[in-house]
A and B are shown apart, each in its own frame.
Chain A
Amino acid sequence: MTTVLTPAVAPRAASPYRVTPLRVLRAEWSKLWSLRSTWITLAVASTLVLAFGLLVAANYTPQSDADIDPVQLTLLGAPLAQVVLAVLGVLVTAGEYSTGMIRATMSAVPRRLPVLWAKAAVFGAIALGVLLVTVFLTFPLGQLFLSGTDMEASLGDPGVLRALLGSAVAPALIGVFSLTLGSLLRSVPGGIVTYVGGVTILPEVVRMLPFAVMDDIVQFLPVQAGEALSAVSPDAQLLSPGAALITLCAWVVAGLGAAGLTLIRRDV
């Protein structure tokens, strides 16, 4: 038997593997779909919108003082779906910290930022896809019950198509924003509480303060901008649809910026 005292260390072949942004995207896609919670959450969000929409449409009786438009009526479940998607957004990022998965993720992609971009893109695209399907299924089905009432509307009516698209785009963008909250706070409960308290409840409280300037501020907050985007003819208190879209995108960009900065500065 011969003993190799100093094993010959051959120079290593160049890596057959390589991390690329597209591969990180592919990895995040597979991570999202390989969890049961993703399927459940998306199904719940979609079912809520569809079920509420049909329930309301089927039992609709015309009211003269209706403060609601046909899109808002059939998509009455949308705010609930928005909360569910926001929770999923928080889980996508903060969930990795609570389980420890983040250590494996960041060891595979130590540059870190591609992971955040990939998570946001994958989650945003999936949320948007599911919402588009849900919205464009719920509206025509609801309309089956509403023909002949004051809530009858078609895709060709002014503002309807835009409001439907907005009803899908706004919750998807708000979901991505809450994903950045999860990344910033690194805690699932922290992220959810911040979303529910700070993003949904706080603006309503602020609006009640007896200062006119508060209304001007509140219209630029994510949920209110989302409302402006989803209405056929927006409230005078809200932004125009174009301004609302820009505002929502600005929130997402700001969230991604803050989350990205924290991600590269803080230890995992």
Chain B
Amino acid sequence: MIEARGLTKRYGDKAAVSDLTFTVRPGTVTGFLGPNGSGKSTTMRMILGLDAPTRGDIRVGGRSYAAHPAPLYEVGALLEARSVHPGRSALGHLLALAHTHGIPRSRVNTVVDMVGLGKVAGKRVKGFSLGMGQRLGIAAALLADPATILLDEPVNGLDPEGVLWVRNLLKSLAAEGRTVFVSSHLMSEMALTAEHLIIIGRGRMLADTTVDAFIRDAGLGTIKVVSPEAAQLRELLLRVPGVEAVISPPGTLRVSGTDLEHIGRTASAHRIPLFELTPHSVSLEEAFMELTRDSIDYQATVGSSAVAQQVAQQGARA
């Protein structure tokens, strides 16, 4: 269980995280979403006490992280930035962490095998691929059998097989009753892994919702119908239970709970002309981008008039 109350972190004038209040519950995977630079990593560092909040507080298992007698038993974390000395072997790294808590060597071997690093455990981390580095980070996170697992962009650099492995691992950890808090900037990945979503942009809370509710609110699976007799068609469609239809703007129906064929046949049977009948094709990713569009720090502006002018000027000079 992670509880943030009014969590705020400022670096000089810039607020990295502003007044975040949320609870991450055990037993489910909670996705932590936001564009790059939205404050996800800062929030994760504050959970671990690496960064101190400017205001507000964040507790894990009812206390601040540092107040636990065995912090790694409370929270296991994989941070986005590498947190390993490249000159040490994977085994050496994990053993050093294990020593601080009195974790036996047998447990170190268990997590090494669990993440599939058995063959390279004695090799220096220097030669590891990004994916192997991520696996080592996950091994470190699982080392002390923690109640809460915190993973910052865990699938970065993993091959498809590795991505699937992480996805299943997270679900099984949650099914064991653990709190699983995993950040990503990819909505599509989170939709496959998480049940609950916390979405932030520019350090502010944008949504604290479930994946199902997010998909429903995004209007996925709706059908757009353009007809001069939209109101009449709506009445007809609503006779079937479960169908929802709204008119916006006038002349356009947005229908859910039925399919193209039913709408087409209903219109035809009542001689209602249709100008357009299309499935609404917004993807989950587009819905996420729509939500976070105003809060992206480093927006690509190619195509905007300013850039076009600049390019034209440079062209003229050349």
Contacts of A8 in B (CB 8 A): 177
Within 8 A of B (CB), among A10-52: 10, 12, 15-20, 23-24, 26-27, 30-31, 34-37
Contacts of A31 in B (CB 8 A): 85, 88, 92, 96
Q: Inter-chain contact count A-B, CB under 8 Å?
A: 125
Cβ B81 vs Cβ A18 within 8 A:
no
Interface size on A, residues (CB 8 A): 39
Cβ A101 vs Cβ B97 within 8 A:
no
Which single member of A6, A16, A30, A100 contacts B84 (CB below 8 Å)?
A: A100
Majority DSSP secondary structure for residues of B touching A: loop
> Which of B72-80, B240-248, B274-282 sits within the interface?
B72-80
Q: How far is the CB of A111 from chain B (nearest CB, A)?
A: 6
Q: A102 CA to B83 CA in the complex, in Å? A: 7
Cβ B101 vs Cβ A18 within 8 A:
yes
Q: What residue in chain A is nearest B89 (Cβ atoms)?
A: A34
Contacts of A27 in B (CB 8 A): 96-97, 99-100
> Which of B44-52, B226-234, B250-258 sits within the interface?
B44-52
Given known pairs A110-B49, A268-B51, the reply for A103 and B88 (CB within 8 Å) is: no
Which single member of B72, B81, B88, B147 contacts A107 (CB below 8 Å)?
A: B72
Q: A27 CA to B96 CA in the complex, in Å? A: 5
Q: How far is the CB of A216 from chain B (nearest CB, A)?
A: 42
Contacts of B140 in A (CB 8 A): 104
Cβ B48 vs Cβ A109 within 8 A:
no
Q: Does A99 contact B (CB under 8 A)?
A: yes
Contacts of A96 in B (CB 8 A): 85
Which single member of A17, A99, A111 contacts B72 (CB below 8 Å)?
A: A17
Cβ A9 vs Cβ B99 within 8 A:
no
Contact with B along A237-267 (1 / 0, CB 8 A): 0000000000000000000000000000001
Q: A104 CA to B74 CA in the complex, in Å? A: 15
Contact with B along A101-118 (1 / 0, CB 8 A): 111101111110000000
Cβ A15 vs Cβ B82 within 8 A:
no
Q: Which of A26, A95, A108 has the most CB of B within 10 A?
A: A108
Closest 9 CB pairs of A and B: A34-B92, A27-B99, A110-B66, A17-B101, A15-B70, A103-B83, A7-B27, A15-B73, A268-B50
Interface residues of B (CB under 8 A from A): 26-27, 45, 48-52, 65-66, 68-75, 77, 79, 81-89, 92-93, 95-97, 99-103, 140, 144, 147, 174-177
CB-defined A-B contacts under 8 Å, sample of 14: A7-B27, A7-B174, A31-B88, A31-B92, A34-B96, A99-B82, A100-B82, A103-B45, A104-B93, A107-B48, A107-B77, A108-B100, A268-B45, A268-B50
